[in-house]
Amino acid sequence: MKSYDEVPVVYDDYKPPKSADGRVHLSNPHLADLESDTLYHLALGTSTHNLEDMFGDVKFVCMGGTVKRMHEFAKMVARELGLDGGEGDAPLVDLTAASNRYSMYKVGPVLSISHGMGVSSLSILMHEIIKLVYYAKCTNVVFFRIGTSGGIGVPQGTVVITQQAVDELLRPFYELHILGKIVRRPTDMNEELIEELKACENSDRATSEYQTVVGKTMCAMDFYEAQNRLDGAFCSFTLQEKMSRLKEISEAGVVNIEMEAITFASMCRSAGIPGAIVCVTLINRLEGDQVNTSKAYLEKLQQRPQELVLKFIKKRLQMMSNGVNGSTSEEHH
């Protein structure tokens, strides 16, 4: 009988060279053989839509878990950028409505997209969105994941900018099973982009009612057991074991836990796209497992990372209007 532990492991450290023209250059040679590429989960395609006309001006791709959150973010972007026609909440069109899977709104140079929950849902979206900006010939595009998380030793409402994504075993890579092999890809984030976000946050530090921190984010494959919760349908460990593990995680530099970071970080790196993860903490996991705060207050907390990313977008657009291309290096450290 074959041992399930005897599986080849491949470390895929590929990172595309810096793009001279600011466009995304993909390393999949098979795309050139396609007469038409159907982005099935977006209900878009290269032969059915003029993707360059529709999306060629996109500079910022912002994604988050729920449809409502990203719809509200799109409305916020429209108001702040003056693209709502002065009518407050202008109607927004879901460009992927026909797919019945994700929702996507375009507001000027900004895409606001729901990615669902967990790495599998995010991975599908990332493949098709990366191909979308490739086919649309977008230049100097930046990706953001704007979301929620559980904090580790930080107060509820803290905004966390991810410096490095790790899995439940604190390993800094995204693991895939491809052709019968374990393939591991790095999950380092773009340091230059992190510094730009910190600079945007620091401009309002004196009046901020909450803290913004930079640290490691643990990505879990599950909301309950893999996040060391006691309140799932199953639990095989004690409160003492849970607290011991959470303290180990904290001592390793992890400040929050969510369910998408390793995939987002790895895929941005593999595509040569500068990307950042900005999440708010809904709970301090050292104090409990359940999120009992009112929905109204949670929605208010969810605006915090959105506001930081929007500050970045406005700053970049101002730079571009002043003749600076606003590109961020794809270098990761």
pLDDT at res. 206: 52
Asked if the 22-140 domain carries CATH number 3.40.50.1580, the reply is: yes
The answer to whether residue 160 scores a pLDDT higher than 60 is yes
Query: How large a percentage of the chain has pLDDT more than 70?
Result: 93
User: For the chain, what's the residue count?
Assistant: 333
Q: What's the pLDDT tens digit per position in 185-223? A: 999 999 999 999 999 987 665 557 889 999 999 999 999
Q: How many helices (H) and strands (E) does the chain have?
A: 7, 13
**pTM of the full predicted structure?**
0.94
3-state secondary structure (DSSP) of residue 8: coil
Residues in CB range of 59: below 8 A, 6 or more apart: 109, 110, 138, 139, 140, 141, 142, 316, 317, 320, 326
Residue pair 22/325 in contact by the 8 Å Cβ criterion: yes
Contact 104, 111 (CB under 8 A): yes
Contact residues for 163 (Cβ-Cβ < 8 A; gap 6+): 189, 191, 194, 214, 215, 216
Fold of 146-322: Rossmann fold (3.40.50)
Q: Rounded CA gap, 245 and 265, in Å? A: 24
Task: Give tens-digit pLDDT for 77-109.
Answer: 999 999 876 555 667 999 999 999 999 999 999
Q: Which residues pair with 166 in a beta bridge?
A: 218
CA distance 154 to 151: 6
Confidence tier at 32 by pLDDT (50, 70, 90): very high
Lowest mean pLDDT among 9-18, 27-36, 250-259: 9-18
Instruction: Provide the pLDDT for residue 300.
Output: 93
Under DSSP, is residue 90 helix (H, G, I), strand (E, B) or coil? coil
For CATH 3.40.50.1580, list the domain ranges present in the chain: 22-140, 146-322
- What separation in angstroms does the CA of 101 have from each of 67, 111, 241? 10, 16, 38
pLDDT for 332? 54
Mean pLDDT value of segment 20-48 = 94
Average pLDDT, the chain: 92
Contacts of residue 135, defined as CB under 8 A and 6 or more positions apart, other chains included, come to: 37, 46, 51, 52
Q: Out of 4-18, 56-70, 122-136, 209-223, which region has the weakest mean confidence (pLDDT)?
A: 4-18
